[in-house]
Chain A
Amino acid sequence: QKEVEQDPGPLSVPEGAIVSLNCTYSNSAFQYFMWYRQYSRKGPELLMYTYSSGNKEDGRFTAQVDKSSKYISLFIRDSQPSDSATYLCAMRNNNAGNMLTFGGGTRLMVKP
């Protein structure tokens, strides 16, 4: 079983829809949770970075962490065709170095 599980998709939604992307994890020592967006032929771009359980909002993006359920989510409101990309969740346990453990990524397609 992978430490971080993420539905690979593809997830196809119409423009303007609310998108929900999710990851589950098994290691309760993970303390930091990140979401990255990766366009084709580009490196991952950090979107959101959270430390504790709860919600964090940045524009159209909301990151949600539920440590008790070992579950994190990224919500995208009013999705745009430019949001079409692969979204990767990542986690870090600072007590075990600074490496990031990634989910497999979810490919999102927003259709105009």
Chain B
Amino acid sequence: SAVISQKPSRDICQRGTSLTIQCQVDSQVTMMFWYRQQPGQSLTLIATANQGSEATYESGFVIDKFPISRPNLTFSTLTVSNLSPEDSSIYLCSALPEALHFGNGTRLTVT
């Protein structure tokens, strides 16, 4: 299975700023997935990122708030824009072929 690394592992950001999270996979993968886990909650899919095309967003998530880049087959970024305290969550990525494994995620706290 692919090994998934995320940076940063955690960050504390001020309201109104943005945070970009990086996801690196140790092998080439076709699709990458970004999830959000709000405090005490389960994981919710934000979007699916394909290399060379626009990301596909789930209901309730929009590109202006969560822009995603997928410049190559091993890397993706998720930006959380115009931060508010409600964005305080863990953000996780996973990747095909199995899309079953996650990194340790990025813990974001917005003050």
Contact = CB atoms under 8 A, between A and B. Distances in A.
Contact of A46 (B31, B44, B101, B104): B101
A105 B107 CA distance: 18
Interface string B12-37: 00000000000000000001010000
A86 B47 CA distance: 24
Interface in A36-52: 41-44, 46, 49
Interface in B69-111: 90, 92, 94, 96, 99-105, 107
A34 B1 CA distance: 15
A100 B99 contact: yes
Contacts of B33: 98-99
B70 to A, nearest CB: 15
Interface residues of A, number: 19
Contacts of B102: 43-44
Interface of A: 6, 34, 41-44, 46, 49, 88, 90, 92, 97-100, 102-105
Interface of B: 31, 33, 41-45, 48, 58, 90, 92, 94, 96, 99-105, 107
